[in-house]
């Protein structure tokens, strides 16, 4: 602001001096009318008044400059940037993942194992024994069919023809009721199976 006032006053001073010089030159030559002389005199006085004001302002400016020279110089203050650069945070240490516990399977109770099935029982075997003469002790197992009984009696020697014996018991309708057990039979050598069939369907000694 002081520099602007100083420059303005200096310019107006130069202009006033130029105008005064021009008026003086015109008066000296005598080529200016009285009316214009009065106007020039008025402007001269006005310029003179401004010149005095400018000198006063100039004096004030010098006084202020002198006082400013006596003030101590301000210390340099480090300017803090308005927008400091972003600070990069230090890298965080790598995190070690916690081991995932492996679930322990519950103890498994072995399923009860069934005992192995017993070995199949072999089919009962019929037995016989010769007692002397024509007497033979024969054992017939339970569950045998008429055909099995006929073959067993033939093997024991009680009968000679198993097929003829089967045909006989079927003709009498007793093939399903032949009894099992132990009995002493007499050898049938004449093809008459009536006594033998009566023993197999009647009173037998069972053990």
Spatial separation of the C-alpha atoms in residues 7 and 114, rounded to whole Å: 124
Model pLDDT for residues 81-133, shown as the tens digit of each residue: 566 666 777 777 777 777 777 777 777 777 778 888 887 776 678 899 999 88
Can you list the residues of the chain whose pLDDT is less than 70?
Answer: 1-36, 71-86, 122-123, 203-207
Residue 92's pLDDT is 72
Spatial separation of the C-alpha atoms in residues 46 and 160, rounded to whole Å: 184
- Model-level pTM greater than 0.85? no
β-sheet bridge partners, residue 183: 138
Name the DSSP letter for residue 68: H
Q: In what order do the strands lie in the sheet with 135-140?
A: 127-132, 135-140, 181-186
- Give me the helices (H) in the chain, please: 2-29, 34-70, 146-156, 162-172, 194-201
Measured CA to CA in angstroms, residue 204 lies from 3, 138, 170, 183 at distances of 161, 11, 20, 6
Residue 188's CB: how many other CB atoms inside 10 A? 19
Spatial separation of the C-alpha atoms in residues 2 and 20, rounded to whole Å: 27
Write 194-200 long-range contacts (CB < 8 A, 24+).
196/153, 196/158, 196/159, 196/165, 197/168, 197/169, 197/172, 200/140, 200/149, 200/174
The two tokens of residue 151 are 């073959």
Helix 194-201 vs helix 162-172: crossing angle, to nearest 10: 60
Residue 203's pLDDT is 41
């Amino acid at each position: 602001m002081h520099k602007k006032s100083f420059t303005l006053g200096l310019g107006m001073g130069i202009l006033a001096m130029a105008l005064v010089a021009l008026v003086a030159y015109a008066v000296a030559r005598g080529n200016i009318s009285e009316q214009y002389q009065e106007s020039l005199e008025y402007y001269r006085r006005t310029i003179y008044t401004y010149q005095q004001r400018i000198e006063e302002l100039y004096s004030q400016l010098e006084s202020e400059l002198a006082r400013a020279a006596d003030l101590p110089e301000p210390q340099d203050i480090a300017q803090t940037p308005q927008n400091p650069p972003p600070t990069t945070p230090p890298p965080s240490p790598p995190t070690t993942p916690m081991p995932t516990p492996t679930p322990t399977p519950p103890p498994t109770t072995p399923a009860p194992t069934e005992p192995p099935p017993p070995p199949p029982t072999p089919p009962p075997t019929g037995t016989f024994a010769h007692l002397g003469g024509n007497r033979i002790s024969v054992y017939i197992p339970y569950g045998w069919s008429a055909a099995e009984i006929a073959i067993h009696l033939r093997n024991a020697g009680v009968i000679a023809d198993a097929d003829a014996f089967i045909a006989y018991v079927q003709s009498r309708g007793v093939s399903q009721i032949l009894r099992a057990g132990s009995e002493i039979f007499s050898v049938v050598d004449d093809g008459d199976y009536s006594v033998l069939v009566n023993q197999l369907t009647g009173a037998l000694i069972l053990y």
